A and B are shown apart, each in its own frame.
Chain A
Amino acid sequence: MEFRLKNELEEIRLLAEAIELWGEENGIPGKTLFQLNLALDELLTNTITYGYPEGGEHEIMLRLIPEGEKELLIEIRDDGLAFNPLEVKAPDLKQDIEERPIGGLGIHLVRQMLDELEYRRENGQNILLMRKKY
């Protein structure tokens, strides 16, 4: 499936609904869909919140392709500021509550929810390729 969303946070919920519907039709387990949607939410929230400091309407493209029996290939392309989520430092999860920074967990969740993540910058676009097994 292919989905185009505008750089507005409300669009993420619409994407999640579309993926759930598509997933149910294609026999993908609910838990897989939840985890995939959480990872996409974190990535897209970052892109929409920080990727377009100059504002204006932009389009983010997402493709979801079943691969083999039990794997999904997901691609996101956006024309926001260059951002490689793989360069984000992992948070210290053992920190005491008072020392815990508020934030920094989104990319950690992305890594936990997906099996593979690849990033490249090409022609002014961020391209993320992800794999999710189930």
Chain B
Amino acid sequence: MDIKKTQEDRKLTIALAGRLDSNSAPQLEAELKESLVDINDLVLDFAELVYLSSAGLRVILAAQKQMNKQGRMVIVKVNETIMEIFEITGFAEILTIER
């Protein structure tokens, strides 16, 4: 998985490309841990994300919980397959998703 970060003041955009699974989730978790200090607007860009498993969902949920305390988080450009996973797991209702 590739992670691309763009920061503008306190807004951070993280674009993910590839597979977010048990193998790559720790990489995203570490990246978020390091980058979220002082951020109040987090955008996760899923345009190039082709796969998501529960290991990735765990990291997304943790990020949402943290951003609820310090600002907001939005997931953008979610494809149909990934959206289905959000729906099946009830995540569609607790995340802010812009397709």
Contacts and interface: CB of A to CB of B under 8 A. Distances in A.
Interface SS of A by simple majority:
helix
Contact of A109 (B19, B65, B85): B85
Contact of A98 (B22, B57, B58, B65): B65
Interface size class for chain B? 20 to 34
A105 B89 contact: yes
B64 to A, nearest CB: 6
Interface SS of B by simple majority:
helix
A53 interface: no
A41 interface: yes
Interface stretch (A9-17, A58-66, A71-79, A122-130): A9-17
Interface of A: 9-10, 12-13, 16, 31, 34, 37-38, 41-42, 45, 49, 93-98, 100, 102-103, 105-106, 108-109, 112
Given A12-B23, A42-B53, 16 more contacts: A12-B22, A34-B81, A37-B51, A38-B51, A45-B55, A93-B89, A93-B90, A97-B64, A97-B68, A97-B94, A102-B62, A106-B53, A106-B55, A109-B54, A109-B88, A109-B89
